[in-house]
Amino acid sequence: INNSRFSLEYFSNSEVTKDDGQDVINSLTKKQKTLPPRYFYDAKGSQLFEDICQLSEYYPTRTEASILKQYANDITKVTGKVELIELGSGSSTKTRFLLDAYQTLDYPLTYIPIDVSGSILKESANSLLTDYPTLNIQGKVGTYQQCLTNIKATDKQPKMVLFLGSTIGNFNHQECDRFIDLVTDSLNSGDYFLLGIDLQKPQEILEAAYNDIQGVTAAFNLNMLQHLNWKFQGNFDINLFKHQAIYNNQEHQIEMYLISNQAHTATLQILDLAIDFAEGETIRTEISRKFNIEQMTKYLANKELVLRHSYTDTKQWFGLLLCQK
């Protein structure tokens, strides 16, 4: 993209590193085998996720979009003029409601999308530059850690960090702590954090959202094995696995599994790893925690993030928390 309103900085490359592999080895050699959810998102997986967002069963995306649409102007009134930084921006579709609203405040608006995928970032920047003729876009490709650390050092303008889609639900408690600490460190006092959280609701609705009839979520889950095959020269046979998502009522989280339907061994050559599966043995590929607004508010307050306003939909299925450091 050749445009004076656009810049792109790379903090990570797509080469396979030793650490990547170590992560997979550790996860697959535990008693309950797991895999890091970031392996969902190769080019095919990212497309499947976009498809999931369109499913009638998968309510989070459209519910969050409806909240943003309804309250974007209210949000601008609370924060005033800020620079927008989005973590895991992806296609930036929902962000447009905020860009529309901030645009009306009439100042040089800067949007800093951060994503691990450079290709999706360029694609979405291209269409944003056309649709928002005065918007400045400073994309950053890398992990949240890499990109946020850098922002703290360079940025003095009031800002708001966006973390939408309830992606925070894919972190366990420890990862969540570390993530929020990272965000808090990157904010100056007075800066804002806008967090999207999926709320607790009846089990049937949750399980339907992660076991859609068309099998898109199943394809998304199984694609992780194909991604590993490609990345680490593996021989996972996706026909030997079945997708399942169940709601864990105690932990308030969806758990996604791949279940091996027979005893077999798979290998990942580059990692020098052979993985034995018993019949019925599972790999847990994702947790998706479901939250309660009051509890989350207390948690954030303990982390120096004070709730300014919370927004929700009429069914109270999804929440947007606007916090300030």
Q: Binding residues for ligand AVI, per CB under 6 A?
A: 52, 60, 165-167, 169-170, 210, 217, 286, 288
Q: Least distance (Å) from ligand AVI to the CB of residue 293?
A: 17
310: exposed, middle or buried (Cβ count in 10 Å: 0-12, 13-18, 19+)? middle
Which of these, 102, 100, 91, lies nearest to 61 by C-alpha position? 91
Which residue number, 113 or 165, has a Cβ lying nearer to ligand AVI? 165
Which residue number, 113 or 169, has a Cβ lying nearer to ligand AVI? 169
Q: Taking a C-beta distance cutoff of 8 angstroms, is the pair 94, 119 a contact?
A: no
Q: Least distance (Å) from ligand AVI to the CB of residue 69?
A: 19
Q: Least distance (Å) from ligand AVI to the CB of residue 123?
A: 18
Q: Least distance (Å) from ligand AVI to the CB of residue 37?
A: 7
Say how far apart CA 21 and CA 23 lie, in whole Å.
5
Which residue number, 170 or 282, has a Cβ lying nearer to ligand AVI? 170
Q: Least distance (Å) from ligand AVI to the CB of residue 167?
A: 4
Q: Least distance (Å) from ligand AVI to the CB of residue 170?
A: 5
Which residue number, 171 or 299, has a Cβ lying nearer to ligand AVI? 171
**DSSP3 helix / strand / coil % (the chain, rounded to 5):** 45, 25, 30
**Residues contacting residue 254 through CB under 8 Å, at least 6 positions apart:** 206, 207, 209, 210, 245, 246, 247, 248, 286, 287, 288, 290
Q: What is the DSSP string of 24-85?
A: HHHHHTSSSEE--GGGG-SHHHHHHHHHHHH-SS-HHHHHHHHHHHHHHHHHHHHH-S-EEE
Identify residue 63 by its one-letter amino acid code.
T
Which residue's CB comes closest to ligand AVI?
Answer: 288
Which residue number, 34 or 170, has a Cβ lying nearer to ligand AVI? 170
Beta strands across the sheet bearing 110-115: 6-10, 136-141, 110-115, 83-87, 159-163, 192-198, 318-324, 306-312
Which residue number, 79 or 282, has a Cβ lying nearer to ligand AVI? 282
Which residue number, 88 or 234, has a Cβ lying nearer to ligand AVI? 88
Identify residue 67 by its one-letter amino acid code.
I
Q: Least distance (Å) from ligand AVI to the CB of residue 56?
A: 14
Which residue number, 231 or 289, has a Cβ lying nearer to ligand AVI? 289
Place of tokens 């599972």: 282
Q: Taking a C-beta distance cutoff of 8 angstroms, is the pair 254, 210 a contact?
A: yes
Which residue number, 124 or 170, has a Cβ lying nearer to ligand AVI? 170
Q: Give the C-alpha distances (Å, rounded to integers) separating 323 from 109, 192, 210, 222, 245.
A: 20, 6, 29, 37, 32
Two tokens at 45? 């997986």
Say how far apart CA 193 and CA 86 lie, in whole Å.
10
